[in-house]
Amino acid sequence: MSDDNAVKMTTMNYDKDRPAAENPVKIEDLSLRDGHQSLFATRGRTEDMIPVAEMMDEVGFWAMEVWGGATFDTMHRFLNEDPWERIRTLKRYIKKTPFSMLLRAQNLVGYRNYADDVARAFVDRTAANGMDVFRTFDALNDYRNFETVVPVIKECGKHFQGCICYTLTEPRLGGEVYNIDYYVNKAKDLEAMGADSICLKDMAGLIAPYDAYAVIKAMKGAVKPPIHLHSHFTSGMSSMTHLKAIEAGVDIIDTVMAPYGFRTSHAAIEPLVMTLLGTDRDTGFDIRQLAAINEILEKEILPKYRHLLDDTKSAITDINVLLHQTPGGMLSNLVNQLREMDALDKIDEVYAELPRVRKDLGQIPLVTPTSQIVGIQTVNNVLFDDENERYKMITGQVKDLCYGLYGKTAVPINPEVQKKALKGYDRGEEPISCRPAEVLEPELEKAKKDTEGLAVDLDDVLIYALYPVTGKKFLKWKYGKEQPPKEVQPRTLEDAKAEQELLKKAKAGKLVEIPEKAAPAKGENFRTFNVFVDDEYFEVGVDPGEGAPVINYVQPTPGAAVAAYAPAAPAPAPAVAKPAPAPKADEPKAAPAPAAAVEGTSLFAPMPGMIISFEKKVGDEINEGETIVILEAMKMENALPAPAGGTIKAINYSSGDSVAKGDVLCVIG
Ligand code: CO
Q: pLDDT tens across 8-54, in order? A: 555 556 666 788 899 999 999 999 999 999 998 899 999 999 999 99
DSSP H helix total and E strand total for the chain = 23, 18
Q: How far is the CA of 167 from the centre of ligand 1 (A)?
A: 13
Q: Which of 189, 187, 118, 195 is nearest to 150 (CA)?
A: 195
230 CA distance to ligand 1 middle (Å): 7
DSSP 499: H
User: Cα(102) to centroid of ligand 1, in Å?
Assistant: 9
Confidence band, pLDDT 50/70/90 cuts, at residue 553:
very low
Question: Collapsing DSSP states into helix, strand and coil, what is residue 253?
Answer: strand
Distance CA 38, CA 232 (A): 9
- Residue 198 included in any domain: yes
CA of 34 to the centre of ligand 1 (A): 6
Q: Are residues 332 and 304 in the same domain?
A: no
Range of the domain at 460: 444-485
Beta strands in 416-533 (DSSP E): 527-533
530 CA distance to ligand 1 middle (Å): 59
Determine, yes or no, domain membership for 577.
no
How many angstroms separate the CA atoms of 230 and 160, rounded? 16
Q: Which amino acid is at 256?
A: V
First to last CA, the chain: 77
Q: Is the pLDDT of residue 519 over 70?
A: no
Residue 341 and residue 226 share a domain:
no
Are 245 and 154 in a shared domain? yes
Q: Are residues 453 and 392 in the same domain?
A: no
Residue 206 and residue 299 in one domain: yes
368 and 284 part of one domain:
no
The reported pLDDT for the residue numbered 342 is 85
Domain finish residue from 429, 461, 485: 485
Q: What are phi and psi of 13, to 5 degrees?
A: -75, 130
Give me the residues near ligand 1 (ion), CB cutoff below 5 Å. 34
- Residue in 612, 604, 598 with CA at minimum distance from that of residue 656: 612
Q: Could you tell me the distance, in angstroms and rounded to a whole number, from the CA of residue 33 to the centre of ligand 1? A: 9
Tell me: do 457 and 418 sit in the same domain: no
Report CA(232)–ligand 1 centroid distance (Å): 6
Over range 385-393, report the average pLDDT: 94
Q: Is residue 254 part of a domain?
A: yes
* CATH assignment at residue 655: 2.40.50.100
| CA of residue 156 to ligand 1 center, whole Å | 25
- Please say which residue of 308, 341, 356 terminates a domain: 308
What percent of the chain has a predicted confidence (pLDDT) above 70? 84
Same domain, 411 and 461: no
Q: Find the CATH number of the domain harbouring 147.
A: 3.20.20.70
Q: Over pLDDT 90: what percentage of the chain?
A: 64
If you average pLDDT over residues 135-156, what whole number do you get?
98
Long-range Cβ contacts of 632-635 (<8 Å, 24+ apart): 633/337, 633/376, 633/607, 633/608, 633/609, 634/333, 634/336, 634/337, 634/372, 634/375, 634/376, 634/609, 635/111, 635/369, 635/372, 635/376
Provide the pLDDT for residue 518.
60
Q: Which amino acid is at 574?
A: P
Do 282 and 378 share a domain, yes or no? no
Q: 25 near 281, Cβ under 8 Å? A: yes
Q: In sequence order, which residues have a C-beta less than 8 Å from that of residue 113 and are 6 or more positions away?
A: 106, 107, 145, 405, 406, 436, 437, 440
Claim to verify: residue 131 and residue 264 sit in the same structural domain:
yes
Together in a domain, 110 and 245: yes
Q: How far is the CA of 203 from the centre of ligand 1 (A)?
A: 5
Q: What is the mean pLDDT of residues 241-252?
A: 98
Ligand 1 centre distance from Cα of residue 264 (Å): 9
Tens of pLDDT, residue by residue over 185-211, are 999 999 999 999 999 999 999 999 999
Q: What is the pLDDT of residue 635?
A: 67
Residue 260: Cβ within 10 Å count: 30
Cis peptide before 369 (omega within 30 of 0): yes
For residue 373, is it within any domain? Answer: yes
The C-alpha torsion from 68 through 74 and 75 to 76, rounded to 10°, is 110
Q: How many alpha carbons fall within 13 Å on the CB side of residue 603?
A: 32
Q: Are residues 335 and 377 in the same domain?
A: yes
**Cα 21 to averaged position of ligand 1 atoms, centre (Å):** 28
Please check whether residue 266 lies inside any domain of the structure: yes
- How many angstroms separate the alpha carbon of residue 110 from the centre of ligand 1? 15
Instruction: Indicate the number of domains in the chain.
Output: 4
